[in-house]
Structure 1
Amino acid sequence: MTTHADSLKTTTPTLAQLTTIGVGGAVGRFIEPQSEEEFIAAVRDADAAGSPLLVIGGGSNLLIADEPFHGVVVRDKRQGISVLDDDAHAGANASVVAIVAQAGVNWDDFVDFCVVSGFSGVEGLSGVPGSVGASVVQNIGAYGQEVASTVSSVRIFDRESGSIRQLDRDDMRFGYRSSALKSSMYSAPAVPSGDYFPTPRYVVLSVTFALRRNGTDEVAFGQLAKALGVAVGERMPIADIRRAVLKVRAAKGMLEDPGRYLLPLMRGCKNFHIVADALSANSLASREQPANMNDEAGSQPNLNRHSCGSFFMNPILTKAQAEKLPPDAPRFDATLPDGEPGVKTSAAWLIDHAGFHKGYKVRPDAKAGLSTLHTLALTNRGGAKASDVAELARAIQNGVEAKFGIRLVPEPVVVGMDLR
């Protein structure tokens, strides 16, 4: 019998071709739905057949094993963004605008659209890779902003009931790099649920954001304020904030390689003018970069961008655990999963102070290593396998635990490997 998914099947790639870190095995079936009906049908068909299901966005928050993924990979190709100006969505506050973005929209395309339109609230999240759908699963955050603060509602397909539902912001149960959607995939931190993994029970169809009709915003993060030459709390044009965020992220090697969007499998997944601008900026940066700053002693500097982004979450500790940290360890007020007050510390600081410095490799000839610009990014230095990245991750986890008694939890969705 021919299913909806069969009619949408395209050339079957490997997961190494679909992910920003460039590792992962072959795919059983690859589907790119062009409409909501096709998207839901692809999910239904996979579930009905009992096939493992992997819904992906930009492939940035994934580390997938080298062995074949014997299941269905679905990449939502819908790219629609709509501005809702009616009173029902704006409410009594005319300074707020409602924007609906389909799950397949590239996240940075969405941020660019908002900034160009004069809508503030997400400019600090410029350059974060991935899709709009993935942004609310992970509750992405950077430079003083979190996606949770701008989400009004999320339209989802519930795989258990087979129905379309709307989850309000409170229903999403947002936390630090977490949501009700992400929680449905895990029975404990880094322990996959037997029912829904590696795709949540609730599959995102679209997200409604509430942003401000304001071309300026407060600079809420010290590092960003320094880059802009202003004080924390000062207001700046959101276009300037976006440019500064992209510059800071680029200096850390924490922007994805724009060249991947020139590959046949990635074309059309990101706005071409943003790709072109990024490629031009990369070319200029390469010409201006001092020789001794070149990655891998003179090879391509973009290898730092072949990563999953930040690989480990910042640990949130009890106050008793935090007291055992060295006096100079970073400490920030936070909330524990049980709602009690806690202390967040820096995973990057722990990694560095456990002896894993920028550029660290488990062996000189290892093909995976820490970024030469940032200790929180595990990178593919060329030809790495998922097993190479996992070996590096475990070495860091073990070293940090031996030094500080803290087991780092991976931020990416890890499929086919155990990195608890």
Structure 2
Amino acid sequence: MSVVIALFLTFPLASRSAGQTVVDFRDAVRTSEPSLMTVIVDSVDAPPDPNAAEDVADAEPPRGRRIEILRPDGQPLNRFRDGQARRLADTRPAPTTSAAFAVGDSIVLAFVGGPVQVGGAVQVGGAVQVGGAVKSVTVQNASGEQAEGTVVALDYVTGLAAIQTDLAPESGLIVSAAETEPGMPVIAAWIADQGLVTDSGMVSTRPVATGSGVGTTATIDFGAGRQMTGAPVLDATGIVVGVLVPSRNGGLVCARSTHVLRLVEAAIAATPHDLKRGLIGIQFEGSGPLVQQVSPGSAAEQAGIEPGDLIQQVDAMAIRDASDVVAAVADARAGQTLQLVVLRGDQTLTLSVTLTEHPDQRIAQNRPDGGMLPSQQAFELRDGQLFPMEIDPNLNPFPPGMRRFNMDELFREFQAPNGPRWRVPGPDDGN
């Protein structure tokens, strides 16, 4: 591994010298560039609209009641041209692109945003499931060569996938097992249309709970540029210390290297497997870590957690408020056992909690350029737990009571101040 070149500037200070290091990332970038790749994720087609005609472009203008927008001179503003209807918006999810990087001679890591469909079902890590969001993944190197990839393991929390491909270089990047520290200089690197792109930054916080849905994440101050989803975050020697992934509250966050190592281990295991979001089954009172309710049959109930317990620590993480507990659980995965230190009255107890699988396994979506986010599944809360709800895509979203309003009369004559006049043609105005 190449050693980074550093420039040391020495200043006299109170009869002793203090040094300031100016980091040079060029060797780190040169070392990592051969391992940088791109993954193109093709999503499953959206279901067809049963109300849309097969040939919309040649359709006649709609007949019956309609709303016309009139200019101040009375001329229609939205008259159909040449008797043709407007085209309906294409609801098919557009392919998205993720930065990727190799971690071995056949494995690359990238953000895919959902399980991969194989035939009529979804197969990830050997497990077949119904439904899914991804149809295929294509791996592309910096030279533009492409090859189909196979997802062997998926982390449902970060959305990162381990993809097997013959296009990966013989050796990949090294992933750090250590945590980032505040003040640590880092750089994000990825391959785009213009070639290699980098953006340097600095770690400004320790891993903390931010409500991202990914768990505890470190805040990184980058420049004014826009980073790419899936880009590795490297230290000054070119070692991976994190990966940029979408956050559930918008934007990108740096998923810790521990998540990456866990995914690689799941991919190269004798039986590759997915990493699922875990559920503990407790509710809090306000923002404090005081347990208000324990869901029946949950992991918390089986571990002996009771309402009124004050959670003080989860594994090595000291707990200050409820968001810390949520983040600590998000750092873990279903099937993992956590050690919780709770205060119950004047007793301090240590309880082992094995997380169950969370019913909401949605992955934060990376909005494609110029595209729309795929529709999300809805959930309902029953007995303190979330349960999936089946939603009919053809169901009228408006309550039946809304149809009692006479929209024709409501919009018969509406004049916006200094603007166009809205008019709904009456029965005698023709079609």
Structure with higher Rg: it is 2
Using the size of structure 1 for normalisation, the TM-score is 0.23
Which structure has the highest helix share of the two? 1
